[in-house]
Structure 1
């Protein structure tokens, strides 16, 4: 393949992705994720289940009403002797019994057990909301991690395309110089080797970009076609204050809030067990019944029908159940103590994680700034080397080295930019502010 063929090949490589594509902003990506991400949909359904559990229909405060009905048909062989001495023998005597009733039961007092159970269900509903929020925050961080990976690969692709254009220009120049006897075949071969390497790198990174776009689309519920780009502009929330964020972390961190809810739930569980042990339960019962008997000929009454109301109060008191309830109370106390210890441990861990995340964020901002400055130096060095290369004052090897230095500086700058942004997201997630700021 001569250098003209390399030019055509390179132009084809570069021209594959020149068509304009839909640009998905971070705001649009977040909206699609919140609406279509399957993990978020599932956790929203879990919250709905927890909300249903807090309904009055699941509280134990409503009465129960049951209906019963039955019918019995008997065929008997009966020998009956009456008080006057007469005897009757019946073979295949038939009789019927019918009954129907409505039964009402209402707990008037259960030692406040249902009260604490209802409050516990309310707290579990709030806990499920916090768990949903945690899922959303984790998914948003995952979204941005992939989104910025797409952005970084997109910028790296552009840098490699510029590199291959420079390599093709160098190959063209080397070819003309060889044709006119101004250089050796070695310069052409070196240029061909370099353009081959650049082409391979470009092919590989384009494949990585396609794969990562598919990953991003999955997070967004697969709502986009393959032909889309992302916004590569990044802004930082440089007005963040460490002390203010640390206080927000202690007050709003979702893991800490969940820990507090678990403590409250354990407290209500302890109270519920105590109520069961130390207080009686009083319930109101009532029923309305209808009974009809069709008796056989041996009975004094041929047909009898009864209807009536009945009502009463029932009291039950768990005076001693072999120690089962006492064991539950003791275990509930231990569970409460465990939840408190877990919160204390979590607070220490989160404060450490916040400080680590903050320092990491500050360091990566500095690294990004250094890489930005390095770009200027590398670009200036390349421009000067390119000018000297055109007039034959530097070798092709020196020119290639300056070209690679510029490319590596661009790749490092891109990496540093998105690393700093993701570090910022970690700080916001820990502080509970991730869903409260414009990203």
Structure 2
């Protein structure tokens, strides 16, 4: 008996000592940590930042371009100039002229300004499209956050379920250990046989194994949660096992406004606007482009002396202003093709929007049915626990009075154990169904869970 009591005391000590060092991780705290630390959410936020940079006026072509340039050249010549057949006044042949280290330099610099006044409204609609793409990226980031929060809460509630199961198995082990003590006392007084003690020891062994397995599953699931939270895998914590369900009237209001808040539908609406702007951008190819240009330059030429002319320095300043109209009267039909394709893409997006609306409506109705079904199962399991608790207490009284066998008592204990673990499973299944319904209605990040 002492061996089995030692096992129980060791398990109890480990559980109590571990819990004494653990802090309670509330659902809101877990969500906040995930929003700050999760890798997927960080990547999504960076994508939003890129989209924000893209929609800046610096990326639209509305501003002029200013280009500066400068250059310098150096040239040195060594030359010999001959005059064949030429004579001086004295009748002597004209001597050769040698030019050594004849140096010439050229320096120039300029500033060029180009500004497009009108490009068929292409830049304007592109700017509008970039703004919509930024909002689309925000919605995509929101979808990533919602999926991460759903994953987080799924693991969080699994930790809560396993925590409650550990407590259930712990109580079962306490009862089984108490049976060993009573069986040994009864054996000493000749009220039962050694078989009752052996049966009790077998049950303690089974309950100890069940408890150890539940604790191992709990530890593994906590590590899964630490991965989502991007924190130390060995971080230890307790979770909140209290579950509150949202009132049905509030859920009905969420469902009624689902089309306005569902993230998938909002994304299709943004894509539809972007496709509409693509049509207008393509049409801008039919219109002319008007632009202004100007330049200001400086040049300095320093030429070396030659056989006939002295060296010169020539410095000039240049200012040039101009305007240009460009109209592509016929581009082989490429603009027309782009416009037609953009219209087809817009029609496809309209069809996709209708399909997603239908699918979202279906998913919401299915999720609502699942939620209601799981709530009903949870209510039944709660009542089942009450029934099995009454049955177990009656069976324990009868067992202590010797009116039922240890096998019958053990069966009542197993029935209670199963009822309690089934209730835990039903409770968190119902809560997860509610969370999935909230995600479909676009309210997952707006309500307190």
| TM-score w.r.t. length of structure 1 | 0.94
Is 1:158–2:167 an aligned residue pair?
Answer: yes
**Matched-pair contact (CA < 8 Å) for 2:304–2:310:** no
Q: Which residue of 2 aligns with 1:118?
A: 127
- Deviation, structure 1 residue 89: 6.2
Q: Which residue of 1 aligns with 2:5?
A: 7
- Deviation, structure 1 residue 168: 0.8
Change (3 A) 1:217 1:240: farther
- Deviation, structure 1 residue 227: 2.7
Q: Which residue of 1 aligns with 2:331?
A: 321
- Deviation, structure 1 residue 177: 2.5
- Deviation, structure 1 residue 150: 0.6
Aligned length: 434
Aligned pairs for 1:83-162 (under 5 A) are: 90=99, 93-162=102-171
Q: 2:294 & 2:323 partners in 1: Cα distance?
A: 9
Q: 1:336 & 1:279 partners in 2: Cα distance?
A: 22
- Deviation, structure 1 residue 90: 4.1
**Matched-pair contact (CA < 8 Å) for 2:286–2:335:** no
**Matched-pair contact (CA < 8 Å) for 1:250–1:431:** yes
Q: Which residue of 1 aligns with 2:281?
A: 272
Residue number among 416, 432, 435 corresponding to 2:426 in the alignment: 416
Q: Which residue of 2 aligns with 1:178?
A: 187
**Matched-pair contact (CA < 8 Å) for 2:223–2:234:** no
- Deviation, structure 1 residue 431: 0.6
Aligned pairs for 1:203-214 (under 5 A) are: 203-214=212-223
Q: Which residue of 2 aligns with 1:345?
A: 355
Q: 2:429 & 2:54 partners in 1: Cα distance?
A: 43
Q: 1:285 & 1:402 partners in 2: Cα distance?
A: 94
Unpaired runs of at least 5, structure 1 = none
**Matched-pair contact (CA < 8 Å) for 1:372–1:413:** yes
- Deviation, structure 1 residue 99: 0.6
Unpaired runs of at least 5, structure 2 = 87-93
Q: Which residue of 2 aligns with 1:30?
A: 31
Residues 45-66 of structure 1, C-alpha deviation per residue, up to 9 Å, x if partnerless? 2111111112121121111111
- C-alpha RMSD of the superposition: 2.1
Q: 2:427 & 2:310 partners in 1: Cα distance?
A: 101
- Deviation, structure 1 residue 80: 7.8
Residues 28-87 of structure 1, C-alpha deviation per residue, up to 9 Å, x if partnerless? 2222222222222221121111111121211211111111001111234668899xx999
Change (3 A) 1:291 1:262: same
Is 1:334–2:344 an aligned residue pair?
Answer: yes
Larger radius of gyration: 2
**Matched-pair contact (CA < 8 Å) for 2:77–2:102:** yes
Q: Which residue of 2 aligns with 1:294?
A: 302
- Deviation, structure 1 residue 223: 6.7
Q: 2:446 & 2:432 partners in 1: Cα distance?
A: 16
**Matched-pair contact (CA < 8 Å) for 1:242–1:358:** no
Q: Which residue of 1 aligns with 2:91?
A: none
| TM-score w.r.t. length of structure 2 | 0.92
